[in-house]
């Protein structure tokens, strides 16, 4: 090989290496399908029930302020054949009315145990050491789906004496692991239809297309079809056992996620500002200064002269001052990366509350290429 041909080959290789980033784009971040989508109808159901916690060490509800606790106890005793005389004053210190909540997982069958949360409804000081008696848990349709009972686990602790009180964590709510037994299963459309609908966590047409393409590539063309930016329809096998294996396979498919839409999320209550990597800014100039108004009032006493039969009058003298700190005009260059945007915003030296106003003004001026969302 001659020297001239070798030189041309080296120049060509250098050109290809330099332009690799342009012609060969980097691979998008891949996630599993189960992390970005859920099967419609395969979801947990919320349960709720009203019950009583007994066995408290004098820290239960005060019956004078929570009459429903006494009514609930009387109703329970009547079911057991015990009748309380009308008008009897019941001073209950070891009983508390509680609200029991639980989440019934999908495909839960009768006999399985689920965790429950117990929260005080009245003015009980502590539920520590209490036992929840049998409490039916109902769904949104009013049917009983589980029965809860057991000893509570309270992570808090407290002590009081002579008007002083020390409390660690929360004493009026606790948890019972495996505290409820499922009595009824929730019907699901898993075996009732030949098509399953995958619901994406966010509405993105590109992600829906990637999900359908990945399923069709693994299971054959025509298996999946993107309906819109959030739902994908998937054809299921006829046999129930094959459906389980089918869903197990597609749940672990790698889906290439493109860069999400540029978005800046602002929490107006806490001042927190979060932006994703797609946020960019255009060249702009920002001047920011603080304006403060101070109003101070000083009492002034007007006293009459002697023997004038006048009255002493008290008035207020107000002093109003307006102070505006100068703000230098700072030129912000165009930022195409998140690090450039952070450096440009840090150059302003503004606190999070001032930064919120600056971002809103930049969005109005067209310099912020992102969606501004306030939560």
Q: Which residue in the block uniquely carries the two structure tokens 């690090």?
A: 339
User: What is the pTM assigned to this prediction?
Assistant: 0.67
Amino acid 348: pLDDT: 67
Range of the domain at 329: 264-301+315-374
In a domain, 10, yes or no: no
Residues 239 and 280 in one domain: no
Average pLDDT over the chain, rounded to an integer = 79
Q: Which of 72, 77, 70, 121 is nearest to 91 (CA)?
A: 70
In a domain, 173, yes or no: yes
Residues 238 and 122 in one domain: no
Residues 65 and 148 in one domain: yes
Q: Which of 185, 348, 356 is nearest to 273 (CA)?
A: 356
Give the lowest-confidence range in 42-51, 110-119, 123-132, 268-277: 268-277
pLDDT digits (tens, 9 = 90+) for 334-367: 776 767 777 777 776 777 777 777 788 888 888 8
Residues 126 and 99 in one domain: yes
Angle between helices 240-251 and 205-219 (to 10 degrees): 120
Which whole number is the average pLDDT over 6-26? Answer: 41
pLDDT for 331 beyond 80? no
Residues 221 and 336 in one domain: no
Residues 50 and 178 in one domain: yes
**Which CATH number does the domain housing residue 222 bear?**
3.30.1360.40
Question: What phi-psi label fits residue 81: left (phi over 0), alpha (psi between -120 and 50 degrees) or beta?
Answer: left
Domains held by the chain: number: 3
In a domain, 306, yes or no: no
Residues 52 and 171 in one domain: yes
Residues 52 and 36 in one domain: no
């Amino acid at each position: 090989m001659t020297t001239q041909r070798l030189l041309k080959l080296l120049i060509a290789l250098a050109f290809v290496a330099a332009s690799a980033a342009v012609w060969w784009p980097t691979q998008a971040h891949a996630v599993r399908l189960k992390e970005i989508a859920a099967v419609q109808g395969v979801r947990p159901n919320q349960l709720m029930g009203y019950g009583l916690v007994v066995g408290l060490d004098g820290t239960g509800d005060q019956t004078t302020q929570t009459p429903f606790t006494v009514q609930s106890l009387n109703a329970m005793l009547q079911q057991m054949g015990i009748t309380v005389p009308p008008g009897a004053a019941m001073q209950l210190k070891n009983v508390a009315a509680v609200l029991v909540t639980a989440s019934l997982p999908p495909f839960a069958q009768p006999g399985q145990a689920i965790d429950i949360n117990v929260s005080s409804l009245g003015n009980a000081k502590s539920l520590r050491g209490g036992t929840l008696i049998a409490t039916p848990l109902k769904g949104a349709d009013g049917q009983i789906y589980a029965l809860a009972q057991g000893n509570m686990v309270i992570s808090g602790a407290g002590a009081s004496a002579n008007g002083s009180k020390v409390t660690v964590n929360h004493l009026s709510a606790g948890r019972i692991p495996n505290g409820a037994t499922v009595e009824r299963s929730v019907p699901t459309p898993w075996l009732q239809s030949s098509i399953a609908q995958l619901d994406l966590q966010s509405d993105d047409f590109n992600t829906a297309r990637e999900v359908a393409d990945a399923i069709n590539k693994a299971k054959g063309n025509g298996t999946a079809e993107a309906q819109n930016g959030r739902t994908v329809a998937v054809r299921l096998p006829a046999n129930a056992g094959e459906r389980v294996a089918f869903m197990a396979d597609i749940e672990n498919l790698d889906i290439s996620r493109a860069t999400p839409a540029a978005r800046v999320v602002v929490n107006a209550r806490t001042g927190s500002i979060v932006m994703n990597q797609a946020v960019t800014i255009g060249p702009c100039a920002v001047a920011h200064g603080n304006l403060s108004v101070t109003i101070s009032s000083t009492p002034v006493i007007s006293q009459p002269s002697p023997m004038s039969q006048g009255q002493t009058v008290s008035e207020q003298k107000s002093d109003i001052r307006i102070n505006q700190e100068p703000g230098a005009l700072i030129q912000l260059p165009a930022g195409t990366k998140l690090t450039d945007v952070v450096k440009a915003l840090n150059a302003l030296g503004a606190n999070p509350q001032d930064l919120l106003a600056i971002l809103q003004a930049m969005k109005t001026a067209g310099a912020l290429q992102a969606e501004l969302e306030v939560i």
